[in-house]
Structure 1
Amino acid sequence: MDAAELREVLSPEGLRLLDSLPAYGSRDDVVRTVSELRAAGHPPAMVAAVLNQSRLRGRAAAKFGPFAARMLFTEAGLEQATRLSVASLHAGRFRSAGATRIADLGCGIGADSLALAGLDLGVLAVERDEVTAAVAAYNLAPWPAVTVENSDATSVDLSSVDAAWLDPARRNERGRLHDPSDWSPSLDFAFGLAEHMPVGVKLGPGIDRDLIPADAEAQWISVDRDVVELGVWMGAVARPGIRRAALVIGQHGAAELTGGADSDDVEVGDLGTYLYEPDGAVIRARLIGDLARAIGGRMVSPGIAYVTADAPVDTPFASRFRIVDRFALDERKLKKELAARGIGTLEIKKRGVDIDPALFRKKMALKGDGSATLFLTRIADRHTALLAVRD
């Protein structure tokens, strides 16, 4: 969104028109809506702007629920915004630590500020991009304790806050920025604030772990098995004795595995009846060993993030599969086996082997009504295929 599009949306007529639109539908529905709005006399630029916002509101419902229906978005802002369910957990940390006014530095469209304000905390929301700051100001207008400032996070006056939350921008108009010193604000600036106040920093889950301060709590969060972020917590917002955490959010609710450090893997053992695939947050946090010990499991192979066990144990921290058969990783043999079993739908998972699952699936020429999961991995230094079903 540029400034001209924002002006169209923020005009009284634009806002009335946006709120009057039905849910964004199929392409045919949109073409018909455009024709109807143009026929009603609405300017083309306004029609385009409000329809784009209607589309973004529809996409935003997955992150913001019913709040999305009254918010404004930019394409990049929505993509980068924290899910409201996760942002509320961030806000709870600050409230539990006794913070009363938090600086949200690099607030984007205001997702984390919204969650903080929802807990009656004061917020100084700072955003460098002018259009994005205006969108944040609109989204946060219902909360009088929030101040939105269009400014650079590194130069804003922080004397009125007692804690800070940062989500450094890791992209610019040329693409992804790989050097943390080029982020906005830089990682050094973000971590340096912890010398003065409690600080939380949102980072990508695949960040180089060597960049995480030794005295910080690192919490990886997954939502519905998708690892969405790494939160680095310092000062009073970090929990005593916890350096690694995996928070898993799903249909079961929220569950967390924590440790004072990376956990040691359990020993490698014989393949059992069940295979457990640890949640990505558990893998990122390097707490696979603690998970394996909790379910009485063993590693299938050194350095491979699969755990095997003889008994089924329910755990929110891993998906469980019952092993049906074991084969050498031979394409022709596997194709025959799958055909003989009538497997037409095949989920392929791989670790420790250099195989493209999509290409491999095509080679299997699947036919039939059956479904299964195929694990392609290494066991006892041999490339192995495990046919399994979700348990």
Structure 2
Amino acid sequence: MARVAVPDDTPNPAPAPAPAPSSQGRAAADPEVDAFLALLTPTGQRLLTELRDYDPADELAVATRLRRDHPAGLVSAALGQARLRQRAAAKFGQDAERMYFTPDGVEQSTRRVVADHRAARVVALGVRRLADLCCGIGGDTLALARAGVRVLAVDRSPLTCAVLRANAEALGLADRVEVRCAEVDEVPVVPGEFDAVFVDPARRGGRGRVFDPEAYSPPLSWAVELAARMPNAALKIAPGVPHEAVPKDAEAEWISVNGEVKEAVLWFGADVTPGAVRATLLPAGDTITGGGHPAPPAGPVLRYLYEPDGAVVRSHLVAELAEQLGARLVDPTIAYLTADELRPTPFARAYQITDALPFNLKRLKALLREREVGTLTVKKRGSPVEPEELRRRVRPKGPNSATVFLTRVEGAPTMLLGRPADG
């Protein structure tokens, strides 16, 4: 689900007129689709406008009032859409007020900052026509269209396709987006007709998240075979995918947003360095690359501790970061770095360490009491102790703050006490 960047100073256009209800892409009536299309009628649009700023805590009273003048089914659909728009604001910003969603679409769609980043890279490759397979409600499709790419968006869900059509219309992008409701393996995607393909396979099943790439829908191997036939390709995968599952002719990129890892993408094409690995930090766009760098040595904790961004850890680029920082590992199996010199970096958070002690709950409690620490941030890597349990047992109290790291140093359970190096 890809998106494309829009300059921050671009004014939001007025909401587009609602498209007329259509059965395009449907062989037979679908109650879910019909309920959604009712929201695109003038009456449905008025209801959505009225509910734009409603408080979900007042939903019962609001629903009772609206049902006096409107069918109960339409009111229910409008309230549901209003709730989804409020949830989607975290991913789509102000566009969420004009867009349409499904519950799965809100949860699984690419957030705009990630889609904008990906779309910019696609455009830099010279792509003008792209097939977005498993497009969902259109996070990536809309971003690509905003960037000037013409997109064939394919999804097997009639409701999802109807929602994407409405989104393209509402955002003024319908002339660049063709939506096709079909199984992705039934749609011919060939070089010449398309410059690139983007595949975002379903990674959830009846029992929740799917971790085996061959259990994706469609399987990763199917998407890789398709990518091999195209001039350019990008395949979205789970960020926890084993590195052994990454094809050797792909570049793997892990992406985090404000320090939280969101996704991984496999890139294929002439401009890709096979086997390369990349970590990208958004919204700033900082990138670190590498692959195959020897692991740094491990040793005792020095004055500063660096906590690498999750994208750096998932991409196995801790060694490259250690070289930039002149740092070493605190333990061969733990992704914490330590150094005597503080070097600014966007790829890790730095802490000044005041105490490095063998793990001992009583000693920690006494130390916190002595320093009047009432605000305690607990971080852990390689420790079985849960942060909330530790806070409950030490009962911090006082005006000061501190950070404690529960980890291993040279194989031994250790607690490190410190504070952020930036204040």
TM-score normalised by structure 2 residue count: 0.87
| Contact 1:81 1:111 survives alignment (8 Å) | yes
From 254, 259, 266, give the equivalent of 1:232: 266
From 175, 183, 189, give the equivalent of 1:152: 183
Higher mean C-alpha displacement, 186-195 vs 332-341: 332-341
Mapped partners of 1:336, 1:356: distance in 2: 19
Partner-residue secondary structure (3-state), 1:239 = coil
Partner-residue secondary structure (3-state), 1:234 = strand
Mapped partners of 2:251, 2:244: distance in 1: 13
| Contact 1:276 1:306 survives alignment (8 Å) | yes
Gap regions ≥5 residues in structure 2: 1-30
Amino acid at match of 2:131: A
| Contact 2:300 2:410 survives alignment (8 Å) | no
Partner-residue secondary structure (3-state), 2:119 = helix
From 92, 96, 116, give the equivalent of 1:88: 116
After superposition, what is the alpha-carbon deviation per residue over 1:337-378, rounded to whole angstroms, capped at 9, x for unaligned?
A: 212222222111111222222222211122222221110111
Of structures 1 and 2, the one with the larger relative CO (CA 8 A, separation 6+) is 2
Question: Structure 1 residues 267, 173: closer, same or farther in 2, change over 3 A?
Answer: closer
- Residue 281 of structure 1: how far off its partner (Å): 0.4
Q: Please say if 1:217 is aligned against 2:251.
A: yes
Q: How many residues align?
A: 385
Q: Please say if 1:353 is aligned against 2:387.
A: no
Partner-residue secondary structure (3-state), 2:36 = helix
**Match in the other structure for 1:36:** 65
- Residue 118 of structure 1: how far off its partner (Å): 0.6
Q: Please say if 1:20 is aligned against 2:12.
A: no
Superposed, 1:118-157 pairs within 5 Å as 118-141=146-169, 142-143=172-173, 144-157=175-188
- Residue 295 of structure 1: how far off its partner (Å): 1.3
Mapped partners of 1:229, 1:373: distance in 2: 28
Mapped partners of 2:330, 2:207: distance in 1: 42
Amino acid at match of 2:107: E
**Match in the other structure for 1:390:** 420
| Contact 1:298 1:308 survives alignment (8 Å) | yes
Partner-residue secondary structure (3-state), 1:300 = strand
From 129, 145, 161, give the equivalent of 1:101: 129
- Residue 35 of structure 1: how far off its partner (Å): 3.4
Q: Please say if 1:312 is aligned against 2:342.
A: yes
| Contact 2:299 2:410 survives alignment (8 Å) | no
- Residue 174 of structure 1: how far off its partner (Å): 4.2
| Contact 2:249 2:274 survives alignment (8 Å) | no
Partner-residue secondary structure (3-state), 1:82 = coil
* Two-structure CA RMSD over aligned residues (Å): 1.8
Q: Please say if 1:161 is aligned against 2:194.
A: yes
Mapped partners of 1:13, 1:328: distance in 2: 67
| Contact 2:374 2:401 survives alignment (8 Å) | yes
Higher mean C-alpha displacement, 49-58 vs 30-39: 30-39
Identity level (%): 42
Mapped partners of 1:304, 1:83: distance in 2: 30
Partner-residue secondary structure (3-state), 1:207 = coil
Mapped partners of 1:244, 1:181: distance in 2: 21
Amino acid at match of 2:313: I
**Match in the other structure for 1:270:** 300
Mapped partners of 1:181, 1:270: distance in 2: 42
- Residue 262 of structure 1: how far off its partner (Å): 3.3
From 323, 326, 338, give the equivalent of 2:353: 323
Partner-residue secondary structure (3-state), 1:6 = helix
Mapped partners of 1:285, 1:178: distance in 2: 17
**Match in the other structure for 2:21:** none
TM-score normalised by structure 1 residue count: 0.94
- Residue 12 of structure 1: how far off its partner (Å): 2.8
Mapped partners of 1:33, 1:266: distance in 2: 61
**Match in the other structure for 2:286:** 255
Amino acid at match of 2:260: D
Gap regions ≥5 residues in structure 1: none
Partner-residue secondary structure (3-state), 1:154 = helix
Superposed, 1:367-386 pairs within 5 Å as 367-386=397-416
Mapped partners of 1:390, 1:24: distance in 2: 40
- Residue 32 of structure 1: how far off its partner (Å): 3.6
- Residue 26 of structure 1: how far off its partner (Å): 4.7
